[in-house]
């Protein structure tokens, strides 16, 4: 699971830490932690390993710079991507620093490049998740811009046949009942509720069977 701070959420470093892995909050306190727990609790026979490769502050430009090391070198079967929030956010919180702004053309071209580079190496597939802004006013400038980047992710997912998760739509559903402050204090970084919204959406895209009962005869050998 690779992305920015929404994925990072305090995960261990270095990425492949054989000593710390398996103890404490090695996956951070966000959606990767929840997804890992659900996958391994419901599908214990699969021996699924989840790796959190989120880096706070990343844009898709920064993601590209570390893609080989943090995404391809660990030899994953599946890759999920959540990137784009900072690409949009920097256009609004630091408008005087255009060198930090990732405009739509660069965002889409880089996203396509990373997907093309990655798919041939996966035995499973990719899940592309849209960036989001937890704001009900679709006329809000940052929300409107974020929707534009979400449309890019949807277009790339359709073109390359990956799984697609519309996180903005998922949060819109929650916002019918809860204020954004109850989900993310800054409308971006999710609390437990927000992280669970993302985790549930990702699991649903993977056709996760919440009622799955493992067969004892398929139990893996213990080492």
Q: How far apart are CA 207 and CA 78, in angstroms?
A: 14
- All residues at 6 or more sequence positions from 115 whose CB lies less than 8 Å from its CB, including other chains: 126, 128, 156, 160, 162
5 is catalytic: yes
Out of 80, 87, 166, 189, pick the active-site residue. 189
Out of 5, 59, 80, 180, pick the active-site residue. 5
Out of 73, 93, 186, 209, pick the active-site residue. 186
Q: How far apart are CA 210 and CA 89, in angstroms?
A: 35
Retrieve residue 63's tokens.
């993601």
Q: Work out the burial of residue 216: count CB atoms within 10 Å of its CB; fewer than 13 is exposed, 13-18 middle, 19 or more buried.
A: exposed
189 is catalytic: yes
Retrieve residue 101's tokens.
């702004």
Positive or negative torsion for Cα 175, 181, 182, 184: positive
Catalytic residue IDs: 5, 186, 189
């Amino acid at each position: 699971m690779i992305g920015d701070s929404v994925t990072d959420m305090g995960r261990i470093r270095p990425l492949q830490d054989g000593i710390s892995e398996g103890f404490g909050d090695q996956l951070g306190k966000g959606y990767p932690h929840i997804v890992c727990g659900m996958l391994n609790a419901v599908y214990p026979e699969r021996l699924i390993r989840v790796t959190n490769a989120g880096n706070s502050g990343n844009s898709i430009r920064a993601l590209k710079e570390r893609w080989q090391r943090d995404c391809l070198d660990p030899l994953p079967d599946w890759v999920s991507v959540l990137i784009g929030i900072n690409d949009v956010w920097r256009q609004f919180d630091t408008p005087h620093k255009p060198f930090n702004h990732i405009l739509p053309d660069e965002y889409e071209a880089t996203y396509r490049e990373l997907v093309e580079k990655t798919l041939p190496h996966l035995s499973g597939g990719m899940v592309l998740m849209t960036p989001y802004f937890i704001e009900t006013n679709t006329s809000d400038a940052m929300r409107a811009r974020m929707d534009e980047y979400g449309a890019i992710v949807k277009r790339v997912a359709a073109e390359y046949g990956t799984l697609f998760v519309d996180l903005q739509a998922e949060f819109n559903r929650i916002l019918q009942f809860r204020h954004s402050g109850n989900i993310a204090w800054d409308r971006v970084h999710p609390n437990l509720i927000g992280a669970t919204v993302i985790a549930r959406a990702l699991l649903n895209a993977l056709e996760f069977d919440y009622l799955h009962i493992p067969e004892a005869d398929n139990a893996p050998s213990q080492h």
